[in-house]
Every structure is written in structure tokens, then in C-alpha cells.
Structure 1
């Protein structure tokens, strides 16, 4: 039988739903506002009084990024580094975290102490640059990939995750004649989808939004990434030295520095928004259903 609801229950439900809707609106509306203004003519948007829909719809804010081949090339480089860097980052980080999770690993405490120290203390940008230079990674595409193949913070998280997997899974596989690599690829990785999906999201977002390495370690303009070019064009429109050129540009195209920045924000955020729903279902912890329990 359903419990009869009294007036206090109705008041509490109305209060909770009202507060939830207010919080939802406050959270979502800024993103919607940026997205909506990115499709409005920049000069018209500077007049204000636009709240829900574009007043003068235009794609000019976006066409400025893609009328030049350098934007398409930068987009391709960013996509390539994101895909390749995410795959290699997941593989090596997960492999090391799995190895350190072994209970009988000799020197396990020393490995973890070394990882923790390296995670909290850095040698600085100059020694890091010298290391990359000695490895011939400066001004190379692989400077985007190799340094990020192993993440110490995610190793500590992965170690805790793998320690929760029953030891009997590995033992039963060894009885059937499987080696450690076969156990890892055929048993451990399939049941580690929640951890690997979370790792893929964080590593992928880091690669997609990273402009730091392109600024300091890349001189070849052919290897510039999309976040770097977005930052560059935003700074170009904000610089006082090009104020006259920017004014003439706004008169001919109808764009402003603000509209370019809004378009840049949308370009950076939308790909992650589309990828996130495909990974969200793996964020649950019920991956051990059907496995051997201890």
C-alpha cells in the first residue's frame, strides 16, 4: 500500500524541486548563454538585451576559425594527439598501476614512495625542457604524446582500484595456463571499464585543452594545436597594438573580440560534451557482476 502523503510532505517536495530547478538553471544557463551569443553578430551582441535567442544569427564567428587552413590543420593535430595520447596514456598508466597493485611485489613501498615524491615535487620548466631536448622531442609531434603516457596521480588511483579485484580471478586464469599479459588484457581490462573510462575522459580532456606544451616546446607553426591558436587569436583581438586593425575588421565582418572568444569557448567545450555521455555509463562500480567473489 502506498503511504498517504500529508501536507508537510507536499510542502517538502515542492521546496526540494523548486531549489533543484533554481540550481539547475543557475548551472546550465551560463553555458547556454555563451553558446547562444556565439551565433549572434558580435557588434549587435555588444548592444546587450539578448537573453534567450540570437537576435542576428550568423556563423561569422565560427567561419573566422575555419576559412584558413591553419585552423583545420590545428584541429587535425589536436584530434590526433588526443586520440593517440589517450590510448597510450590509458595503456601505460593502467599497466603500471596493475603491476604495483600486486600484494607480493618486492619493493612496493619504495615504488609508491618514489611515485608520491615525483607527483608532488617537480624540477621546474628549465630542467624539464632540457630533458625533452636531450630526447629530441622539442619541435616534434611526439612531445605531445610521450611525456603524458604515464600519469603518476592516476597510477595511485588505479592501484587502489586493482587491489579491490579478487585475487582468485588471477589464480583461476593461471591454472588455465594464462600468462600475466594475457590475464591483464583478457580479464583485468574488461572488468576495469569504470576506471579506464574515467581515465580516458580526464586524459582526453587534458590533451584536448592543453596549450602549454605547444607554447614552450613547439616552434614549427605546422605543429600548433587548436587550443594554442584559440588563445593566440583571443590575445590578438585583445592587444592594444592592433586596436585600429581590429576596429576595421569589426566593421567589415561584424565580429568583436568577445564574439570570437565565445566561439572559441564553444569549439573547445562541445567535443567533450558529446563524448561524455558515452563514458558516463561506465562510471558505476558494478563491474564485478558475474565474477568470482572471495
Structure 2
């Protein structure tokens, strides 16, 4: 008996096409994760709302759930500081140049130290690990920076922290996991070690490079201690040090005059200044995450080795 032409054999449904029904345990786990996510994001949400609130709204309620006002007085107080633009440019320079220096020294150094046949590798690694646990102290460090003529020099916030020992060890461990065949095949084709590093190793290590770059960028953006310690010229202070100075000066005014008098004269509640400082200091570096997120999701060796 012939099968009719119009009739198609029933396709067997794949188990992956069936929608998985959530059990009680899955619902509980999802609920717990959602609750933890809310607990994590709520402080940021509260900080942003309080930075845009006015003194009346902050005085009435401590925790914000629904925005009731929109006031830019706190941001106006920060942005109208004459040194704000200079401090922002200083921090931008330190972040961009410092991150490039950090990546260059860390990636090249870790690549060399990941080679077991490199002469003196154990001695160098011992010296690097020694710096994680011991240092010469603040006064000798200051005198050394003075001898290097780095006082009132922006590179004092870059060169002394050119390498983070912990990040260097992470890169060394990562480079050791890469297949040796990749480098050997490149050297057979005539590539030297520098070409192997920048044309073979780094392109397939972008997830690790992006992560380390983000860590270094956050460190350089948040740099304020070296600025306070080594900068006697107030025009060379980084943004974080300037924001700290603005907040400290405002708190000193509060300590000498009652809060109600200050609020009445300036129209600014102390919490408004604190929250606005937090937003201004963290928002620019948070904007980097969406652009670097794609590297975190990629596999390390996708497309590098053909099966």
C-alpha cells in the first residue's frame, strides 16, 4: 500500500524542544537568587535616588523606594568646583596611560615567566612573591619617589604600580594552559617570540586580557592615595582626591555649625553630597563593563586549534 503524497511522517519531538517544567526546588532556587539580586542592586538604586533628591525628601525618609523629587543641587555643587575639570582630566590620563603601562608590563612579563626554560625564572618569581608580603615602608618609599623626581609628576601614580603581583601570577597561570603547539607552529613559520605573543597568544587570550585590563582600569580610576601623598600642587590632584576633599570640607563645616543651619544656608543635605560623590566617582568606570562583557563570554581557544 502506497503512502499518500500529502502525508508527511510525524517528526519525533526532541527532548530539547520540550519546555522544561519547573519543580518546587527550581522555584525555590529562583526565588532565592532573585531575592539576593535585589539585595545586591538595591543599595545602588538607593544611592542614585538620594543623589537626585532634595533636603525635604531626605529629611522625611531614610530609605528610598520610589523617587519623589528630582534635584540636581548636589551635582551642581560638585561640577561647579573650579578644579573639577582638571581633576577629571588627570584621572582620565592616569587611567588610560596607566592601564596601557600595566598591561604592557604585566603581559610581557608573565609570558616570559610562564616559560619553564627561562633562565633565572625561579629567582625572579621569588623576588616578585616577596613583594606581596614585605615592603620598605612609607617614608623610604616617599624618599625614593623624591630621588626619582616624581613629586608633582603624574607618572608617580603610574610607574610605582606598573605591576600588580596578583594579576601577574594570574596571567602566568593562564599562559601555562595554552597549547605549546600553537607557538611551535608559529616559530616554524618564522615568527619570533614577540610576534608569537602579539599575533598568536594575545588574540586567543582576549577574555583574560579584558579581565585584567578592567581590573587595572578600576585601580587607576580609583587612585587617590598617591595623589594626596605626592601632589603638593592642588591642580594635579586626581578626581577621587578632589571629591574626597570636597566631602571632607563640607563635613568640617557641619562640625562647626549645626546641620540645620548649613542646610538652610546652602540648600544641601550632607547625604546629598555623599551620594552624588559616590555616583560621580563610580559611574564612568561602570560604563566600561558593557563594552568588555563580550570578551568574558567567549571561549579562550575557540577557533585557535582545528580538530
1:142 corresponds to which of 151, 155, 159:
155
Shift of 1:253: 3.6
Contact 1:237 1:246 in 2 (8 A): no
Shift of 1:292: 3.4
1:120 equivalent in structure 2: 133
1:171 aligns with 2:146: no
Number of matched residues? 292
Q: Select which of 79, 82, 89 maps to 2:102.
A: 89
Q: Give 5+ residue unaligned stretches, structure 2.
A: 1-13
Give the corresponding residue for 2:58.
45
The 5-angstrom pairing of residues 20-39 of structure 1 reads 20-39=33-52
Contact kept in structure 2, 1:191 and 1:287, CA below 8 Å: yes
Distance across 2 between alignment mates of 1:273 and 1:226: 16
Conserved? CA contact 1:98–1:162, under 8 Å: yes
Query: Partners in 1 of 2:100 and 2:259 — Cα distance?
Result: 41
**Runs ≥4 residues deviating over 4 A:** 1-6, 245-249
Which residue is equivalent to 1:274?
287
Cα distance in 1 between the residues matched to 2:238 and 2:258? 25
Structure 2 counterparts to residues 1-294 of structure 1, below 5 A = 2=15, 10-48=23-61, 51-239=64-252, 243-244=256-257, 249-284=262-297, 286-292=299-305
* 1:50–1:123 CA distance, 2 compared to 1 (3 A): closer
- Secondary structure in 1 aligned to 2:155? helix
For structure 1, list consecutive stretches of 5 or more residues without a partner in the other structure. Answer: none
Distance 2:122 2:32 in 1: 48
Shift of 1:229: 1.1
CA-based RMSD: 2.2
- State the TM-score, normalized to the length of structure 2: 0.88
Deviation (angstroms), 1:115 = 0.8
Whether contact under 8 Å (1:101, 1:160) holds in the other structure is yes
CA 284–4 in structure 1, closer or farther in 2 if over 3 Å, else same: closer
Instruction: Give 3-state SS (helix, strand or coil) of 2:257's partner.
Output: helix
